[in-house]
Structure 1
């Protein structure tokens, strides 16, 4: 029996190799926050200062990775809109199309407290950085209350309303978690729109399943939204949760359609 292997262009083959190199470097780099945390433990500084320093290291690493992805020719990306600086007490949301969506948001938004998968909180390689950075597990029964408390303290919360990567750009199956946090905290919402064309690193795809044509990632920073702009805040809270979830889903549907349809 003959094994038929599809022919790859030189550029396509290089991008598959570049993907492997990037993932190896990512795995190595994931150990750096842990080493840094051990060093921080020796310094006479308070917990809040340590947490902020860990988040700064994570942001620097994420910025390095997204720039490496572009420099290697694996993918290209562009930033659109006014990138926020020195924000506090915001809920940051994004649609979720790729495995590396969080890298882009972490790279370009400061002082983020992420809502992370519960499995990462039990992973021996990610447990210590997640704990030291003060991130919240999506399996925490008090997730909404904890996020609202952190927002009140001036932290920015990052959550993907879909909860997991979508299968296609306009699927956008928003859950209520983001809306619940926004309503409970009355936090301003910073929407970020991420689109990858052609799509890559989607749900169920292997790291080496790279599109023949190089993907371009567009990261859009939209204007901050106040909840009162979106829904009637005089309605019962449970109704506000549902209405805001629907409003945000419709907002993203229009925003993503404008990018992928252009």
Structure 2
């Protein structure tokens, strides 16, 4: 109970801090933030429009790409938040947190949660608006209840991955390599390209990756196409996520050594 209360206080503090940071942005900073979100959405949707010239959109590739990009947005934002947090930790914030609280991991988890939640909401809203503007309709959602079940473990896992990325980025000099691994390799192994649209051999190989059962279920629920029974995938999903939370909780004091 004491640990949960401490995490709640840290989360509330980070929420207040992020709110002050966002409300304190000037118009130029807001335009830069929003333009970044719009540009990411436009890159994806430009590819959809280009494919529609060849009739590919008739097989509903646009729907697949929307849910892939939506899932990637939810996954990747904690990694970006970790990159931002790294510079602050190197600037002496870590020492202050340890001196005042003694629990660096708890504060960092709250930081990653609040920061990534705000940006995920902004990016997802802009993606939805741009999609609707181009296609004149909202993207189809085949299985709303399964989507509701699939999103929480993805968010929890992505925040834990952000914490791992923060640790790795703080231990090596070349953060570009760490960023590449966490932003590209992990999602690729996690089903950002669903096995249902890949060649059979590659799809079967990717199904051996545990990450496939954590990231991809959001795409499966959005498109309604599952490689296995949804209940099996979601059970594995929650087992992996809960196990990851337990591991981080057990070894979170190791984060002290990023200093």
Query: Normalization by structure 2: what TM-score?
Result: 0.31
Which has the larger share of strand?
1
Query: How does the TM-score come out when normalised to structure 1?
Result: 0.31
